[in-house]
Amino acid sequence: TKLVYTFGNGQAEGRARDHDVLGGKGANLAEMCSLGLPVPPGFTIVADACSAYYTLGRRIDAGLKDEIRRGLETIEKATGRQFGAKDRPLLLSVRSGARISMPGMMDTVLNLGLNDETVQALGHDAGDARFAWDSYRRFIQMYADVVMGLDHEIFEEILEDQKARLGHELETELTASDWQHVVSLYKELIEEELGEEFPQDPEEQLWGAIGAVFASWMSARAVTYRQLHNIPGGWGTAVNVQAMVFGNLGNASATGVAFTRNPSTGERSLYGEFLVNAQGEDVVAGIRTPQSITEEGRINSGSDRPSLEKLMPEAFEELTRICTELEAHYRDMQDIEFTIERGKLWMLQTRSGKRSTKAAMKIAVDMVDEKLITEEQAVLRIEPSTLDQLLHPTIDPRVDRQVIGTGLPASPGAATGAIVFTAEEAVEADEEGRKVILLRVETSPEDIHGMHAAEGILTTRGGMTSHAAVVARGMGVPCVVGAGTMRIDLRNERLIGVGVTLKKGDIITIDGSAGQVLKGEVPMIQPELSGDFGRIMGWADRLRRMTVRTNADTPADARAARAFGAEGIGLCRTEHMFFEGERIHVMREMILAEDEKGRRAALDKLLPMQRLDFTGLFSVMHGLPVTIRLLDPPLHEFLPKTEEEVVDVAAAMGMEAAALRQRVDALHEFNPMLGHRGCRLAISHPEIVEMQARAIFEAAIAAAQETGAAVVPEIMVPLVGLRSELDYVKERIDAVAGEVMTEAGMKIDYLVGTMIELPRAALRAHKIAEAAEFFSFGTNDLTQTTFGMSRDDASAFIPTYQRKGIIEHDPFISLDFDGVGELISIAAERGRRTRNDMKLGICGEHGGDPASIHFCETIGLDYVSCSPFRVPIARLAAAQAVI
């Protein structure tokens, strides 16, 4: 196979589509060359050669060397220069270029081919000895760093010493002989440090640089970067070798970087920076402050240093023309690098540019209007998960983050406030207009009012489906959970983080999108739902097949979700309706009742509350489908835990503390998530179902009468494993339906369905479908029970699993297609075999995860349901899944 692809003078052996072989940079250099753009001639060594380099024990094979020599000849022909010649020497740049760009991760060597003789020739040739010696010292410094492993800082020291000795402030003040002296000092230093001479043979230099670029693929920082970005280590990097063009050849020379549109606002104007008389590394290194390319940019930045537009109008003109051509060709915003050598423009790189979500929206919409891309392509250009950035305030990307703890990104957005340790304090602060972050080891229903009052929530324990995470997402409150690197010392009201201890009242910021805890207040960017957002979402809605519902427990949540475009409620967790205010006491009374009589007394009090809740939901949803799930409380979430709590609750309930303690002990479960929950509760205590069914039907009739819209409640039975469980519960529901309709003298339609959240239910779906009119996949529990991993405890070991490569993704965040996914496919297929028009949906947290939504599309689910703030993400992801 071919290992070296050449390009130059309008011809290239590669193409943009060859990026897997040539890496991103090499493929686009070839493409630009074919387009006739000014690209310094060169060649690309394929990425596969990188693997071969490692297989050979970090050596460049003789066959590859031969191909490289041939590549070199084509550069020599194109430039009319000879590598290593003592007259008009060819100098080279050697750059890495992987399939996906890994900015700043790998190495580059410039000015290669210089030695004690060619430096003279270069100076003579350019008529500028100072330039030649400056280039030589740059080369030695870079080569010694990248290839020979000498820290570049020791060279900086020499340079600083020389400047001090000569009384110069700026490098530009050094003369040719000053640089010549610096070069001799550099070479001495290398001999001293390494006991070897700086290599004078250009070919030896070339092998060294190519080997170093290959080797940089396995550098610690590159390996870490790949882990963070899920880039396979087997890809390797390609190497690009090109004729040097010099941005440091005097004041008519320059080097710069630019975006074809503004990467933070998306505005359609060239945006970038450059340095006069400099090489590319100077821009990156930040030694000198770059100048703005356009006049507009210069004015906006308030700078008085001239723009490229003013300084080199011809080169600027050409650059602008090329940017337009590149955009039209790639049909996307480009990020480019260029050099101007004595007035002549050279293109060194182009790639599709990174941008903020806001810019991505604007660019996609503008490009549709400019007829560069289709609406489908525009929809595909937006990464759904990044919509978070638009819906919540986010941390200004320009600030340095002082991270004092990390956990799971449970609910997106950022929030700043003073830390408090109890829900009461949060409520108090809220009433006084103070902003707080509520800190808990984990949250429970009693914390709800505090969670509402707080700007953000932070817990040190629990996973993505823990109470705190689920509730915060529903409320749209930023939340970080399971911050295991931090410790809460409740007794002393302190938070112990990485290198800091904070006390009550200290200010922190949490980033619920990144799972980070930061010290102090941090500048934020406010959300902005612009017209571009609306247009993209409109296109997405037209394209998608699945509908998008929301998980909402209150009319307020439902209203928020409708504003985000929800088309129904896929899950109303009725136990959440009892978290608030006085209700929790009645709920506890019910749970703690010793007998049916006690339970019925409590249920009688709960009935009007539930009826009111449901009427509210039905009227907000105005005829859209509403799925109400029967009570599914993991009991431990509602019971007092500590002795202190027992005393408080006993007082509130008018009970003896000892009696309450006894009752709590009697109800204690070793494994509450697998205990007396879901339909098991309904079967033990049918009066609970009867109360809920009555509330639902009475509310549906009232809402139908009031709004005139037909209300078809969908009643959902949780945690079913056996068809007989569903039969038992359904019989109670049907009986109550009959009673209520007779009493009201009005008939309404309703559906009874089930959640599929246990493997047995998935396997027996054909039987369960005989009784169930719809299925909704509860993938939180289905993941928990398929893996046998507690959803509340998994955060303790999942990160380790990920780090050790045992699993790639947290299955509680992104659906495990192979295992849990197969159970879902089986259940969907078997359920539909029995009942072919059966509605199928998903309401676990995965319903808002783009990759999981893709899976739902492939197996033909009818809808996904997710928390209100994820609704736009789901709409977009569902559209992308069909394109």
Part in contact with ligand PEP (CB under 6 A); list of ranges 257-265, 414-422, 690-698, 775-783 = 775-783
Residue 707: both structure tokens together: 């709004």
DSSP state of 421: S
630/646 with CB nearer ligand PEP = 630
C-beta separation of 64 from 52 below 8 A: yes
Please give the angle made by the CA atoms of 311, 315 and 321, to the nearest 5 degrees.
130
Does 778 interact with Mg ion (rule: CB under 5 A)?
yes
- Which residue from 26, 844, 848, 868 is in contact with ligand PEP, where contact means CB under 6 A? 844
107/553 with CB nearer Mg ion = 553
Classify residue 541 by burial, with Cβ atoms within 10 Å: 0-12, 13-18, 19+: middle
Positive or negative, the CA dihedral 841, 843, 844, 847 is: positive
Q: Which of 618, 635, 636 is nearest to 627 (CA)?
A: 618
What's 537-592 look like in SS3? HHHHHHHCCCEEEEECCCHHHHHHHHHCCCCCEEEEEHHHHHCCCCHHHHHHHHHH
Tokens 């209203």 — which residue? 559
312/866 with CB nearer ligand PEP = 866
512/778 with CB nearer Mg ion = 778
Cα separation of 308 and 345, whole Å?
Answer: 12
Interaction partner, residue 574 (Mg ion, ligand PEP, none; CB < 5-8 Å by kind): none
| 150: amino acid identity, one letter | L
Cα separation of 639 and 216, whole Å?
Answer: 57
Tokens 């297989």 — which residue? 55
309/781 with CB nearer ligand PEP = 781
C-beta separation of 869 from 476 below 8 A: yes
- Which residue from 413, 721, 778, 821 is in contact with ligand PEP, where contact means CB under 6 A? 778
- Which residue from 532, 781, 810, 857 is in contact with Mg ion, where contact means CB under 5 A? 781
488-512 core/surface letters (b: 16 or more CB in 10 A; e: else): beeeebbbbbeeeebebeebbbbbb
Interaction partner, residue 571 (Mg ion, ligand PEP, none; CB < 5-8 Å by kind): ligand PEP
Does 857 interact with Mg ion (rule: CB under 5 A)?
no
Least spacing, CB of residue 475 vs Mg ion, in Å: 19
Phi, psi of 38 (to 5 degrees): -75, 100
Interaction partner, residue 880 (Mg ion, ligand PEP, none; CB < 5-8 Å by kind): none
- Which residue from 28, 513, 780, 852 is in contact with ligand PEP, where contact means CB under 6 A? 780
Least spacing, CB of residue 580 vs ligand PEP, in Å: 17
Say whether 2 sits in a helix, a strand or coil: coil
135/779 with CB nearer ligand PEP = 779
649/843 with CB nearer Mg ion = 843
91/639 with CB nearer ligand PEP = 639
439/717 with CB nearer ligand PEP = 717
Q: How many Å separate Cα 284 from the centre of its chain?
A: 26
Element holding 215 (H helix, E strand): helix 202-216
Cα separation of 10 and 31, whole Å?
Answer: 10
Does 365 interact with ligand PEP (rule: CB under 6 A)?
no
171/781 with CB nearer Mg ion = 781
Site for ligand PEP in 489-528 (CB under 6 A): none
Interaction partner, residue 573 (Mg ion, ligand PEP, none; CB < 5-8 Å by kind): ligand PEP
Tokens 């990144």 — which residue? 514
- Which residue from 318, 698, 781, 792 is in contact with ligand PEP, where contact means CB under 6 A? 781
Least spacing, CB of residue 633 vs Mg ion, in Å: 11
Part in contact with ligand PEP (CB under 6 A); list of ranges 332-340, 373-381, 440-448, 774-782 = 774-782
- Which residue from 448, 843, 864, 881 is in contact with ligand PEP, where contact means CB under 6 A? 843
Neighbours of 289 (CB within 10 A): 9
**Per rule CB under 6 A, count of chain residues that contact ligand PEP:** 11
Q: Which of 794, 708, 821, 697 is nearest to 748 (CA)?
A: 697
Least spacing, CB of residue 409 vs ligand PEP, in Å: 18
Least spacing, CB of residue 631 vs ligand PEP, in Å: 11
* Bridge partners, 488 (sequence order): 495
- The residues annotated with a catalytic role in the active site are 467, 843
Cα separation of 574 and 614, whole Å?
Answer: 10
C-beta separation of 71 from 210 below 8 A: no
Q: Return the C-alpha torsion angle 13, 16, 22, 24, nearest 10.
A: 150
778/872 with CB nearer Mg ion = 778
Interaction partner, residue 512 (ligand PEP, Mg ion, none; CB < 5-8 Å by kind): none
Part in contact with Mg ion (CB under 5 A); list of ranges 220-228, 702-710, 752-760, 833-841 = 752-760
Part in contact with ligand PEP (CB under 6 A); list of ranges 249-257, 370-378, 721-729, 776-784 = 776-784
Does 444 interact with ligand PEP (rule: CB under 6 A)?
no
Least spacing, CB of residue 673 vs Mg ion, in Å: 9
Neighbours of 168 (CB within 10 A): 14
* Bridge partners, 336 (sequence order): 258, 350
42/778 with CB nearer ligand PEP = 778
Would you give the binding string for Mg ion spanning residues 710-749, x where CB under 5 A is met? ----------------------------------------
Interaction partner, residue 768 (ligand PEP, Mg ion, none; CB < 5-8 Å by kind): none
Q: Which of 13, 2, 67 is nearest to 41 (CA)?
A: 13
Phi, psi of 166 (to 5 degrees): -85, -5
Would you give the binding string for ligand PEP spanning residues 571-590, x where CB under 6 A is met? x-x-----------------
Say whether 250 sits in a helix, a strand or coil: coil
Say whether 843 sits in a helix, a strand or coil: coil
Cα separation of 597 and 585, whole Å?
Answer: 17
Angle between helix 202-216 and 62-79 (nearest 10): 120
* Bridge partners, 628 (sequence order): 572, 715
368/631 with CB nearer ligand PEP = 631
* Bridge partners, 866 (sequence order): 550
Part in contact with ligand PEP (CB under 6 A); list of ranges 123-131, 315-323, 403-411, 778-786 = 778-786
Q: Is 297 left (phi over 0), alpha (psi -120 to 50) or beta?
A: alpha
Does 810 interact with ligand PEP (rule: CB under 6 A)?
no
Least spacing, CB of residue 757 vs Mg ion, in Å: 5
Site for ligand PEP in 214-233 (CB under 6 A): none
Cα separation of 537 and 879, whole Å?
Answer: 9
Phi, psi of 375 (to 5 degrees): -60, -40
Does 779 interact with ligand PEP (rule: CB under 6 A)?
yes
Least spacing, CB of residue 764 vs Mg ion, in Å: 18
**Per rule CB under 5 A, count of chain residues that contact Mg ion:** 3
Part in contact with Mg ion (CB under 5 A); list of ranges 109-117, 360-368, 457-465, 770-778 = 770-778
Does 757 interact with ligand PEP (rule: CB under 6 A)?
yes
Site for ligand PEP in 618-677 (CB under 6 A): 632
Least spacing, CB of residue 756 vs ligand PEP, in Å: 10
Q: Which residues bind Mg ion (CB under 5 A)?
A: 757, 778, 781
Q: Which residues bind ligand PEP (CB under 6 A)?
A: 465, 571, 573, 632, 757, 778-781, 843-844
